[in-house]
Structure 1
Amino acid sequence: MNSNGDSQSARARARVPGPSAATGPDGDPSYAAARPAPDAYRRGAAGQASVGAPRGSASVGAPAGRAAVGAASVGSARVGAAYGPGQGTGSYGGRAAVARAAVRPSAGPDGFGDLGGGGNGLPNRKDLTKLAKRRRRANVLTAAAAVVVILLGAGVVGGTWFFDGVDLPQPKSEDQATTIRDANNKVLAKLGSQNRTVVPDKSIPVMVQRAVAAAEDKNFYDHHGIDFLGIARAAWNNFTGGDKQGASTITQQYARHAAELKDISYNRKLREAVIARKLESKYDKQTIMGLYLNSVYFGEGRYGIEAAAQGYFGKSVLAAPNSPRALTVSEAAVLASIIKQPEPVKGGHKGFDPNINPDAAKDRWQYTLNNMLEMKWITPEERAAAVWPEKTLRPIDSGKSSGDAADKPVGMIIRHVKQELRDMGIDDDEQRRGGLDIKTTIDPDMQKAAEESARRSSEDSPMHDKPKSYQAALIAIDPNNGQVKAYYGGDNPTGLDYAGYMDGETGQIMDAGGQSPGSTWKPYTLTAGLQKGISFETHWDGTEKRIGGGTISNAGADPGRVCGGQIKFCQLEKATVQSYNFPFYWIANKVGPSNVLKAAKDAGIRHIWTDAQKDGTSKLIDLERTDASTWNKYFAEEIGFGQYRVVPLEHANGVATIINGGVYHKAHFIASVSRRDENTGKMVTYKSEKTRGEPVFPADQMSDLLGVLQKIPAHANKVLRNGRPAAVKTGTWEFNKKGGSGDAWMVGGIPQLAATVWIGGANKRVELKSGPNGTGRDMFGSSTPGAVWKTFMDKVTAKLDMKIERFPDRQRTGDPNSPLQNGKQPPPPPADPQCLIGFLCPGGNNNGGDNNGNNGGGNNGGNNGPGGNNGGNNNGDGGDNDGGDPTTTFPGQFLTGNPPRETDGTPGTGG
């Protein structure tokens, strides 16, 4: 059995021909015991054979009164089953097939051939009479005659009925491999169960086509689908007790594949022959050869001539003739010779893969070249010059390529690629058919930096000394076009996607996904406020109770020290840098929670979770399919400071919009999708990314916001290398009602790149600590997340030698006297006649790190004032709360009823 399911003689088809008739038509007795090849077109036909027709009858499904069409036994029973790649059932492609042994029939009760032969392949009865032999031979000849009658289209009623009853199947749409590449065109992964690249038949060199014909069917260009001489030769050899032979032409082999004819019977052979004739009447030889060469199996997991050319020789049938990547005659003959039996059969012939059985492959190669010479497809000089292509033959790939993302963190992007393909209109069926070449937006240098910065296994990562129960996620986006340049959502590419919470099977956001962003949400609240005319110069009263009662906590800060002791007159700009909560609660109240959500949606947030409902579960809200009527139902003023869970990838998209001055680009992983043109064979762009941005926020308001966010890196002690300007926001959300940290973030970027970092629990929430092995103080946004963020940004800007760019100059917007503010202008400080020079005064206006908290309350932290140095140079220690006592503890509750509280801005953390 060859790779196309053709029954073969152990000697006649498993070897190259030789001169001795005693060794069979192919010569060489060394193959006499060889078993046939795997069946590339057949799945698991196990031990079937046709049963000889009763005396005087050889009908195949013919109705009464019609001519008998022979289904008589021809004296062979096939046992065994073809096995597909890596499985126990047969499949098209027939890798590692178990061959079917030829078994001669024994005499039946009436003297006819019976299929109950002995297990050793010999007749059960040794005393077959001459009469029985003659009857057996007569049955076989009758069946052969019936085949001829049918195929010649003679006016025999039974033949006509059978011929007309067989439908011509449409040519199969062959499954192909889809290649996924990074932004530098390096292969990340190949998808698809079959490594195949379909090429136009007109693009396959004639020399290659003729080599295949020489190996498989040298009369291909002369017959009309059926080789009658081959049938007669094979039949006579079988009938006379010689080696069992088949006579399937290339057209028949393809017919069997296209019609999925898998059973082993004369009925199948008849249908195969009829379909072959119909194929030949509809398509020309070049088309049929092209269909065949795009479908047939070549071993080592390669389907189709293009995959074989690339896999065995690193060449292409699409290359220009005589170019370095074009196949030579010798190489084409090697590939053609493999088809007969691409893989070894257990206990039998080892096949014709030159990497597995080089001696047999060379013999078969000689056979192919000799046939090419005989058919005058090559000249005697070309035959004499043919050399075994040992130098260009590639060895078997021992494993996955270095670019294979299947078991690497970058493999997580594949699920996002698949979903984006669906969004582009390329559904799952088309994806399964493959043949696509997908260029992603992933930059290999940035991806490497992301993994080195965020993976616990990386010694360069601030996560390296953290417990296994801790998990980080990092997403980097080019804010100017929305391209995801790096994506780390976990080490297991088939596991939980901590960066996107996307289901790997459905591509949908998981119901139980998302994390609370804490203060990193505040830029959306500020955006909503700026849109309503609220200026950063407005003042807010931190002593006012929330609606319905209850104190708004500021992460445990001493109310007497909040805003430099001016909690009733806190300016919005300072409250943003210091990350106090109360102004954001009241902004959400004044502009409405739905307007805060709208700003977040416009920036890029698409999904958000509610608080736990009566059944104890949170409800996932799709912001694109809902409106303010739904939002106001589920979300209250707590929306202002990040209580509700969101998807890190979407949050990264929203931050990128702000970094880009209010121009939105949807975050995406696919730059372009190409597929092969059926006529030219060239890859052409099929789908491509949308690069046009959508302005969603006024540029002047964004410059105002970015001007404030640029003050936070110094406050959090996370200034980038070379003093590169960056706009960031830190955030933390508590572990439980008693306090602690459960989610910690740092988001932001530079004009060329935005990055979002989240740290939380792996599989379940854990209480995060900033010290080694889960020890030390509570983790906050400015500690480990900030360190991961800075490590990544410094690596990328150094590796890519990024130019230092600055954000647009700040334009102050809004009304400092906005009626929406609930605070008042602070009273002027009393004049002190003795205070003539600032450094002689005890702390002055810089007491404990006033002056908007610049440098973390550091050098401006009032070196001569109380709390100055304690709130200063020690990484912003105490600078968070104007030089407050680092040992300040959390109050017991945040709001009435003890809901989760935002813990960003804890004393001694810098946010």
Structure 2
Amino acid sequence: MPPGGTGGSGGGTGGGGGGKRPRSTADKKYRRANILTAAAAVLVIMIGAGIVGGTYFFDDVELPTPQAEEQLNKILNTKGQILAKVGEPRVNVPYQNISLTMAHAVAAAEDKNFYRHNGIDMKGIARAAWNNFTGGDKQGASTVTQQYARHVAELKDISYSRKLREAVIARKLESKYSKDQIMGLYLNYIDLGQGRLGAEAAAQGYYNRSIVKGGSNGLKEIDPYQAAAIASIIKQPYPTATHKGYDPTINPTDAEDRWQYTMKNMLAEGWISQEVYDKRQWPKALTKKTSQKCETCWEGKPSQMISRQVTHELHELGITDDQISKGGLTITTTIDPVVQKAAEEAGSRTSKESPLNGRPKTYQAAVIGIDPENGEVLGYYGGDDGNGIDYAGYMSGDGSDVMESGGQSPASSFKIYTLTAALKADYSFNTLWDGTKKRANGTSISNAGQDPGKTCQTGNHSITGCDLEQATVKSYNFPFYWITDQLGVSKVVSAAKSAGIRYIWNNDGKRIDLTKTDASTWDKNFSAEIGFGQFRVIPLEHATGVATLVGQGVRHKTHFIKKIQSIDPNTGKTTNLKTISTKGERVLAEDKASDLTAVLKQIPDHANHSLAGGRQAMGKSGSWELSQEQSSKNGDAWFVGGIPQLAATVWVGGKGNRVALTEASGKKMFGSNTPAEIWKRFIDTVAKEKGWDKAQFPDRIRTGDDSKGNGVAPPPEPTVPDNSAVCNSALGSLLCPGTDNGGPDNGGPGNGGTDNGGGTDNGGGTNNGGGNNNDGG
């Protein structure tokens, strides 16, 4: 048989080599497609020559110096003062001082030919073009110089024209700057994950090393293995939906694979020896980021708790963790330094200015100040330990959400929402309520130890016919129970929700989210006692509701962030990322809000805590018992309210566990005691320091139906007729007995007078004109 035949040793169909297989029709079509594709790639490059030519003459390639600390997230107060710096500062290293180990590792990872080309890697471009046209992964084919050119030229879009423009700018960079200069600028600019911009920040953050030759500031110089690991991050520093990236602390498996690639290229280029390569071991990165301290920051201070609210709000605004970790955000908060200082000084028992100073260590306060005109939190105190429990907002340490076990019983301070519900249902403050009426189960309604005989005795009222206005000022419970009973629990809860309450805890300790539930859930979880504040709420949310009513029925979303700006990583320019809306929503009609305000304005004076200079204010106190077993002791005490410029909410209770609250005198603490003192000191201090005028609330407009209560109006007092004219007439002695007080017929001495109660047996007669046994004349 001829060579190559069946079974032979040649290259036939069953052989192992030799002759060529004839081309099929499919093969020919595939070859033609490849030729056309290659031609198209060359054509695109040639067409781009026009773009190249134009770009060359018009693009400015002055290199901006990367700014130190540019990638930090800065948190500011309203005065622009720094409250916090979050992240790690950029540390610019002069190119002359950069370790060749670091420079070579980056070249090995990103651009092996960096030291040989003139800014453009033509082989890379051709390879990328071929891959893109044949349907492979879209490749950039960018040299290190081109990558930096993209930064300089503010180029973002992935397009072929952009790639050509980068190439031209890169060529101009290469003609103006040395390789070491370009590499140095690149290393100071590049993003290496976790908000670490620049190789020095990455070296310190991941390995506690420096890229400076010989080391710097007590840190050793980075070694080849660590340098290669950092350089390998450049390909993709942050996770995406399709790949976890190459951050060694997030995706060590792929990061190590990329590291092997970089190490191999370092060996191939002669940048490390065979011995170093053979001894390579994957360098495990540090996982804990170091915090940056500054003297003006809130770290270790009570204001540090605000950071949790800021983080929570960033997420609510759609700012992702990736955006936060990349850095470059400038977050201006609503915190006013004057109000913040006043809140801390009034609320912290460690402050000599606080009414809690010197009180037991188990006592804790929360003080919150909100601008009722826009919902901005101006001051926020929730405890002395910035990393401890947030007693003002009960926000978790990571800022993810409110703690499941948060909240405190608002007691009578919650009555402002019951009143809101009543006013919406057209109840007037003249409605009368019966304090003797018992619940359906036969139990009486407690009024915190009030003597029933002294309840509602002001004016022509009694305990069975007590008007709502007096009951509000003196904080009787029974009208609020019966209003809730009449309206239904859900109406009161709805009023609280519309004012700003989101979470309320039931008696089983379950947190009910009012924004995700409806009336059917509320009726099942709460009883009519909600009308006078039995169920726990968050102080910050209660402060929102208070601000709504101080703001005359307009609710604004309570917020800690005023605006967010970001640094464009390509241009270094600051742009507005988010501006917070302060638009309000009316939840209580103006006339009804004025009616409520007029009643609440009486309470600060009633509690003996009028503001300095007679400044007009509205308020409401509240006190809740320690437990059912210890109902004679209070475990929560509140005073809430404010002035037209500031809504203030104060809570006092136990730090950690609930405790029995007493005054320094040993007497039982009520909301109108120490909490009211804190509230007064807070507002007085802020108003004085801010130089606010004595703003007035709107004049009262009385509203509602007087007949909606369940009380009985007392009978009118009997009127005594005026008989003076008759009694002074000639018939006066007959028609008005006793007028002359001692006349012959009126029981005077010796003249008992049988017809007028005299006589021996009736107390008159000879002795005194009185009677020995009965009331005489």
Matches within 5 A, 1:195-214: 195-196=89-90, 212-214=94-96
Write the distance in 1 (CA, Å) between the matches of 2:361 and 2:519.
Answer: 41
Letter in 1 for 2:90: R
CA RMSD of aligned residues (A): 3.3
1:798–1:258 Cα change, 3 Å: farther
Contact 2:144 / 2:186 at 8 angstroms: preserved in 1? no
Write the distance in 2 (CA, Å) between the matches of 1:348 and 1:625.
Answer: 56
- The equivalent position to 2:187 in structure 1, one of 292, 296, 300, is 292
Matches within 5 A, 1:808-887: 808-818=698-708, 821-831=709-719
Write the distance in 1 (CA, Å) between the matches of 2:294 and 2:308.
Answer: 20
Counterpart for residue 591 of structure 1: 487
Write the distance in 2 (CA, Å) between the matches of 1:455 and 1:254.
Answer: 56
Letter in 1 for 2:89: N
1:400–1:216 Cα change, 3 Å: closer
Unaligned 5+ residue runs, structure 1?
1-173, 198-207, 218-245, 260-273, 309-336, 350-397, 613-617, 835-911
Contact 1:519 / 1:579 at 8 angstroms: preserved in 2? yes
SS in 1 for 2:634: strand
1:281–1:683 Cα change, 3 Å: closer
Contact 1:416 / 1:507 at 8 angstroms: preserved in 2? no
Measured after TM superposition, the shift of residue 831 of structure 1 is 4.2
Write the distance in 2 (CA, Å) between the matches of 1:479 and 1:676.
Answer: 32
Q: Does 1:537 align with 2:430?
A: yes
Counterpart for residue 402 of structure 2: 509
Structure with max Cα Rg? 2
SS in 2 for 1:568: coil
1:285–1:593 Cα change, 3 Å: closer
Write the distance in 1 (CA, Å) between the matches of 2:433 and 2:107.
Answer: 79
Letter in 1 for 2:477: N
SS in 2 for 1:283: helix
Measured after TM superposition, the shift of residue 176 of structure 1 is 3.4
Counterpart for residue 185 of structure 1: 80
Contact 1:175 / 1:433 at 8 angstroms: preserved in 2? no
Counterpart for residue 476 of structure 1: 369
1:433-474 CA-partner distances (Å, limit 9, x unpaired): 222110000000110011110101100100002100000001
Q: Does 1:463 align with 2:336?
A: no
Counterpart for residue 340 of structure 1: 213
Counterpart for residue 879 of structure 1: none
SS in 2 for 1:765: coil
Letter in 2 for 1:649: L
Q: Does 1:489 align with 2:388?
A: no
Matches within 5 A, 1:640-659: 640-659=531-550
Unaligned 5+ residue runs, structure 2?
1-68, 113-126, 129-139, 151-181, 203-209, 223-290, 723-777
1:673-717 CA-partner distances (Å, limit 9, x unpaired): 100134542211101211111111111101000000000011000
Write the distance in 2 (CA, Å) between the matches of 1:296 and 1:422.
Answer: 23
Write the distance in 2 (CA, Å) between the matches of 1:412 and 1:247.
Answer: 43
Matches within 5 A, 1:341-420: 341-344=214-217, 400-420=293-313
1:205-260 CA-partner distances (Å, limit 9, x unpaired): xxx9xx9455559xxxxxxxxxxxxxxxxxxxxxxxxxxxx67747x43655999x
Contact 2:214 / 2:220 at 8 angstroms: preserved in 1? no
Letter in 2 for 1:826: P
Letter in 2 for 1:552: I
Counterpart for residue 744 of structure 2: none
1:842-887 CA-partner distances (Å, limit 9, x unpaired): xxxxxxxxxxxxxxxxxxxxxxxxxxxxxxxxxxxxxxxxxxxxxx
Matches within 5 A, 1:225-236: none
Letter in 2 for 1:749: G
1:62-120 CA-partner distances (Å, limit 9, x unpaired): xxxxxxxxxxxxxxxxxxxxxxxxxxxxxxxxxxxxxxxxxxxxxxxxxxxxxxxxxxx
Q: Does 1:690 align with 2:586?
A: no
Matches within 5 A, 1:47-58: none
Write the distance in 2 (CA, Å) between the matches of 1:348 and 1:586.
Answer: 76
Write the distance in 1 (CA, Å) between the matches of 2:101 and 2:551.
Answer: 69
**Mean alpha-carbon deviation: is it higher for 671-680 or for 692-701?**
671-680
Write the distance in 1 (CA, Å) between the matches of 2:496 and 2:319.
Answer: 29
Give me the identity figure in percent. Answer: 49
Write the distance in 2 (CA, Å) between the matches of 1:714 and 1:258.
Answer: 77
Measured after TM superposition, the shift of residue 302 of structure 1 is 9.0
Letter in 1 for 2:331: I
Matches within 5 A, 1:717-728: 717-728=608-619
Write the distance in 2 (CA, Å) between the matches of 1:451 and 1:720.
Answer: 19
Measured after TM superposition, the shift of residue 670 of structure 1 is 0.3
Letter in 2 for 1:827: P
SS in 2 for 1:594: helix
Write the distance in 2 (CA, Å) between the matches of 1:186 and 1:511.
Answer: 34
Q: Does 1:799 align with 2:693?
A: no
Contact 1:608 / 1:620 at 8 angstroms: preserved in 2? yes
Q: Does 1:786 align with 2:676?
A: yes
Contact 1:716 / 1:782 at 8 angstroms: preserved in 2? yes
Contact 2:86 / 2:292 at 8 angstroms: preserved in 1? no
1:656–1:295 Cα change, 3 Å: same
Contact 1:296 / 1:339 at 8 angstroms: preserved in 2? no
1:523-552 CA-partner distances (Å, limit 9, x unpaired): 100110111111001100111001221001
Write the distance in 2 (CA, Å) between the matches of 1:669 and 1:710.
Answer: 28
Contact 1:482 / 1:666 at 8 angstroms: preserved in 2? yes
Counterpart for residue 466 of structure 2: 570
Measured after TM superposition, the shift of residue 560 of structure 1 is 1.3
Q: What TM-score does the superposition give when structure 2 sets the normalisation length?
A: 0.63
**Mean alpha-carbon deviation: is it higher for 688-697 or for 637-646?**
688-697
Contact 2:85 / 2:293 at 8 angstroms: preserved in 1? no
Counterpart for residue 567 of structure 2: 676
Matches within 5 A, 1:116-135: none
Query: How many matched pairs?
Result: 518
- The equivalent position to 2:106 in structure 1, one of 249, 253, 256, is 253
